[in-house]
């Protein structure tokens, strides 16, 4: 356990700079987005009310109040989130390949550590989880700050205020990364964890068998995907809605756990018996 924690700490420190860059980028771009969107609304209000002499009430009726929704739906807000998702997605591959490729032969050291080799797998997957949860947590902290920014820029009579909770429940774009309930959290993040573990196993197949491993990895991903959606397919096409939604959820959780266990077992086998530096 101690070695696992040390490895997690070590792996996270390796990605700390990239993580900090993603956080800073998100902060800067989203705050700029708040400023740009608020300014553009205020400029429009200025133009209509003071230059075209439109009554304030009529302006609000025609153009509506400025709400944080407008900011969230803009590329300023969703762009950094997409980049963070892409960054984590890219790092899922880089976290393994950086130890093998180029001048870096750190994989020698990792595989020769006096600890079970599966700890390397656990440490890397934990690092991906920490990154993901870290980015989500940062976004949650950032939201009220950005709302405050908007409030300081846009006068109250032009604003339609809403809290973070209200934003999250009304925004499907956000509900995937910030689930509204515990079940959604298990569903979304459980699936995410599963996808990462399957990809890790496929990467280890490639690292063990090279070209043949790429094929084996792709086949493994395909099989895991089919098994995972099998309950949904059966429900839809064979059993004609036989299961209650809760039963279906339980079935999905069970298939998910089976795939996770298979990925861990296979990764352990590859790391101890088949891996090649």
Partner 1 sequence: MIEVKAVEKKYGRKKILKGVSFTAKKGEITCLIGINGVGKTTILNAIMALTPINKGQILIDGKTLDKHTFEKITFIPDAITMLPHMTIAEAMEFMDDFYHCWNQERATELLGFFRLNQSDRISSLSKGNTAKVNLLLGLALDVDYVLMDEPFSGIDMFSREDIANVFTSHLIENRGVIITTHEVGDIEHLIDKVVLLDDGMVSKEFSAEEAREIEGKSVIDVMREVYQR
- What does the alpha-carbon distance between residue 273 and residue 140 come to, in Å, rounded to a whole number? 43
Nearer to partner 1, 3 or 225 (CB): 3
Judged by CB under 8 A, the chain residues 111 through 150 that form the site for partner 1 are 111-117
The residue from 90, 93, 106, 215 that contacts partner 1 (CB under 8 A) is: 106
The CB-of-223 to partner 1 minimum distance in angstroms stands at 23
Positive or negative CA dihedral for 65, 68, 74, 76?
Answer: positive
Judged by CB under 8 A, the chain residues 237 through 276 that form the site for partner 1 are 272-276
- What letter does residue 40 receive in the DSSP assignment? H
Does residue number 1 form part of the binding site for partner 1 (CB under 8 A)?
no
The residue from 109, 156, 172, 240 that contacts partner 1 (CB under 8 A) is: 109
Please state the separation of Cα 175 from the chain's center in Å. Answer: 12
Judged by CB under 8 A, the chain residues 189 through 228 that form the site for partner 1 are 208
- What does the alpha-carbon distance between residue 271 and residue 28 come to, in Å, rounded to a whole number? 41
The residue from 51, 57, 103, 238 that contacts partner 1 (CB under 8 A) is: 103
Burial label for 263, CB within 10 Å (0-12, 13-18, 19+), is buried
Contact call for residues 7 and 123 (beta carbons, < 8 A): yes
Task: Number of residues interacting with partner 1: please give it, by CB under 8 A.
Answer: 24
The residue from 4, 6, 97, 134 that contacts partner 1 (CB under 8 A) is: 6
SS3 89: helix
- What does the alpha-carbon distance between residue 176 and residue 228 come to, in Å, rounded to a whole number? 19
Does residue number 94 form part of the binding site for partner 1 (CB under 8 A)?
no
The residue from 108, 133, 215, 242 that contacts partner 1 (CB under 8 A) is: 108
Nearer to partner 1, 114 or 165 (CB): 114
Does residue number 3 form part of the binding site for partner 1 (CB under 8 A)?
yes
- What does the alpha-carbon distance between residue 78 and residue 153 come to, in Å, rounded to a whole number? 21
Nearer to partner 1, 152 or 276 (CB): 276
Positive or negative CA dihedral for 263, 274, 111, 17?
Answer: negative
Positions touching partner 1 (CB under 8 A) are 3, 6, 10, 14, 103-106, 108-109, 111-117, 208, 272-277
């Amino acid at each position: 356990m101690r070695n696992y924690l040390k490895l997690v700490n070590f792996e996270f420190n390796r990605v700390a700079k990239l993580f900090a860059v993603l956080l800073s980028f998100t902060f800067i771009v989203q705050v700029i987005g708040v400023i740009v969107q608020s300014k553009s609304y205020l400029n429009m209000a200025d133009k209509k009310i003071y230059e075209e002499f439109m009554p304030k009430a009529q302006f609000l009726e025609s153009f509506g109040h400025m709400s944080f929704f407008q900011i969230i739906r803009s590329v300023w807000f969703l762009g950094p989130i997409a980049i963070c998702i892409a960054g984590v997605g890219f790092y899922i591959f880089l976290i393994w390949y950086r130890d093998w490729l180029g001048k870096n032969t750190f994989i020698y050291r990792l595989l020769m550590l006096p600890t079970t080799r599966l700890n390397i797998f656990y440490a890397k997957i934990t690092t991906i989880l920490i990154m993901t949860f870290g980015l989500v947590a940062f976004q949650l902290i950032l939201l009220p700050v950005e709302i405050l920014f908007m409030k300081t820029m846009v006068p109250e009579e032009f604003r339609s205020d809403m809290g973070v909770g209200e934003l999250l429940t009304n925004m499907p774009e956000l509900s995937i990364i910030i689930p509204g309930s515990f079940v959604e959290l298990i569903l979304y993040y459980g699936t995410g964890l599963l996808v990462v573990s399957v990809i890790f196993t496929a990467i280890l197949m490639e690292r063990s068998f090279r070209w043949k491993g790429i094929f084996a990895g792709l086949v493994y991903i395909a099989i895991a995907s089919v098994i995972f959606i099998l309950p949904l397919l059966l429900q839809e096409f064979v059993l004609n809605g036989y299961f209650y939604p809760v039963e279906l959820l339980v079935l999905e959780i069970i298939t998910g756990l089976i795939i996770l266990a298979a990925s861990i077992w296979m990764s352990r086998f590859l790391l101890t018996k088949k891996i090649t530096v």
